[in-house]
Amino acid sequence: MSASGPNSANGVPWQRVFDQSVAAMAIMDLQGKYLYVNEAMCRLLGYTHDELIGLNYRDVTHPDDVDEGPLVGEAVLEKRYVRSDGGVIFVLLSRTVVRDSADRPQYFLSQAQDITGRREAELLWQRSFHNAPIGMALLDLKGSWTAVNDTLCRMLGYTREEMLSRSFNDVTYPEDEQQGVTALADLIEGRKDTVSVEKRYRHRDGHPIWMLIRATAVPGADGLPAYLVSQYEDMGEQRLVDAHLAHLALHDPLTGLANRALLADRLDHGLQQLAGGNGVLVVIVADLDQLKPVNDRYGHALGDQMLTVAAQELLGVVRSGDTVARLGGDEFVVVSLLPDQPSAVALHRRVAERLDTRITVSGVSVRLRASVGFATTDNAHTPPETLLHEADRDMYSRKQAHRRSGDEPR
């Protein structure tokens, strides 16, 4: 290994190139003993040139990373070195075989890059990921899990292997799928950097789990999203309790229909839709005629069942977007946005017919009958209370007329 001739590049001795390189470099024999090291390698390991020459690379390798057996061929690997002061560093090591003119191995050229900062950050991330008290996962751009922590596995009841064979849609309730699909598209297409979603996942044993999910897109070298990082918090029974309390605040506890507060909101919404020229808003008021006699004869428990049946009859005659409410006692209200007045009249007739039937509750046959009035408007500025008052007055007029004529009320 002379300083000139075949060991020079364009007249520049190899030692000069070697010594002035900013990369830590060493030349080793085929057994791994250092024959030559540059200053960058000395600084990396904290030894002088003379201290390193003659040492085997295994002498400065962390005991847990020492490879057994002879060195074989080229290699790129990550390992730990122990510095002269006892400090441990992570390095990215590249090893190349130097051959003679007959292609026979003569030496190894080794280059080392200090990656301690990067590896410590990776280890910190891994520890944080795996030991986090909340669920964490990495996902590909199709929504499949590529890494999950133990907490998420426990939350959903699956093993890690089972989780890694699924996507988030596989455990999402069908009614909540669109939220996840939309959030994924927002991240992948760059509309949002982070998304938050509340949705239900299905536990392995079948019960629902309300999750608060926060996801972030991580860019690749080209600046485009490469994968996703997600955090999962089990909202637990409190989410179900909150949903139940919210439902109770807006619904009648006996029948499950809208209460007065929700009815007021739906009336306002219907009137707002009229501003766009959307037909007529109809309000139907139905008052059961036989509830008091049933209560007096059979008791309030049977009367409550009669109210529940009446609620189901009304739900069976309206459209899915209509509102059916119970205002207390034996009074029900239907609110519907319809294309024209004949449609409103037809709905009124169907409600009256539906609430004129014989039903059986708790083995007792009773007559379900109601007086049914209605009012309509195509004016978005009509006060809601005016509509309710007109429909109630129409209902009362029909009840009185039936009584005067001796007809059975409808």
Angle, alpha carbons 28-29-32 (nearest 5°): 70
Q: How many Å apart are CA 370 and CA 352, to the nearest integer?
A: 7
**DSSP single-letter state for residue 277:** T
Q: How many Å apart are CA 388 and CA 372, to the nearest integer?
A: 13
Task: Decide if pLDDT at 296 tops 80.
Answer: no
Strands (E), 105-144: 105-114, 135-139
Q: How many Å apart are CA 172 and CA 167, to the nearest integer?
A: 9
**DSSP single-letter state for residue 95:** E
pLDDT for res 23 = 92
**Alpha carbon separation from 327 to 145, 268, 384 (Å, rounded):** 49, 17, 15
Q: Which residues contact 155 (CB under 8 A, 6 or more apart)?
A: 135, 209, 211, 232, 234
DSSP run (H or E) holding 326: strand 323-328
Of residues 9 and 194, the one with the higher pLDDT is 194
**DSSP single-letter state for residue 407:** P
- Is CATH 3.30.450.20 what the domain over 5-115 is classified as, yes or no? yes
Task: Decide if pLDDT at 269 tops 60.
Answer: yes
Q: Are strands 135-139 and 208-219 parallel, antiparallel or unpaired?
A: unpaired
Task: Decide if pLDDT at 163 tops 90.
Answer: yes
Residues in the chain: 410
Q: For residue 240, what pLDDT band results from cuts at 50, 70 and 90?
A: low
Beta partners for 208? Answer: 202
Q: What is the mean pLDDT of residues 244-272?
A: 82
**Which class would CATH give 251-402?**
alpha beta
Task: Decide if pLDDT at 210 tops 70.
Answer: yes
CB 109 within 8 A of CB 98: yes
pLDDT for res 265 = 86
Residue 205: count other Cβ atoms within 10 Å of its Cβ. Answer: 7
pLDDT for res 40 = 95
Of residues 68 and 190, the one with the higher pLDDT is 190
pLDDT for res 238 = 59
pLDDT for res 242 = 61
The string of pLDDT tens digits covering residues 70-95 is: 777 788 999 999 999 999 999 999 99
The domain spans of the chain are 5-115, 132-240, 251-402
pLDDT for res 403 = 72
Q: For residue 237, what pLDDT band results from cuts at 50, 70 and 90?
A: low
Helices (H), 111-193: 116-131, 150-156, 160-163, 177-188
Q: What is the mean pLDDT of residues 218-241?
A: 83
In the numeric block, which tokens belong to residue 157? Answer: 């009841």
Average of per-residue pLDDT values in the chain: 87
pLDDT for res 4 = 37
Beta partners for 246? Answer: none
The string of pLDDT tens digits covering residues 4-40 is: 334 544 444 678 888 888 999 999 999 999 999 999 9
Task: Decide if pLDDT at 1 tops 70.
Answer: no
Give this prediction's pTM: 0.47
**Which class would CATH give 132-240?**
alpha beta
Q: Are strands 208-219 and 225-234 parallel, antiparallel or unpaired?
A: antiparallel
Same CATH fold assignment for domains 132-240 and 251-402 = no
